Amino acid sequence: MGKFEIKKRKNGEFQFNLKAGNGQIILTGEGYTTKAACNNGIESVKKNSQDDKRFSRLEAKNGKPYFNLTATNGQIIGSSEMYESTSSRENGIESVKKNALDSEIKDLT
């Protein structure tokens, strides 16, 4: 089972990472000014990750595929790492869908 980890950035913002059961980070959230807003971001990931249309499949300037998860208003909730192939990116998306719903939240702040 995966888990969300909340950390505090050096600039004082809160950020979450969604980790798969193997401990690999599969989604990194944006920076939030409050812990409550960060928790709202996690709830948004849980809700929006179940809709495939919320995943933007993109390619970086270096040609590596990655994805963003967006809310219904189009705002980016989280981003993936860079992948070596589009099939790896698709596996990452499936992992987010699978792990987001029932992952525990671990506060590391």
CA nearest 27: which of 37, 42, 40?
42
Asked whether residue 1 carries a pLDDT value surpassing 90, the answer given is no
**Residue 81 burial (CB count, 10 A):** 15
Domains of the chain in sequence order? 3-107 (2.30.29.80)
The pLDDT tens digits of the residues spanning 34-55 come to 999 999 999 999 999 999 999 9
Asked whether residue 99 carries a pLDDT value surpassing 90, the answer given is yes
Total-model pTM: 0.93
pLDDT confidence tier of residue 27, bands split at 50, 70 and 90? very high
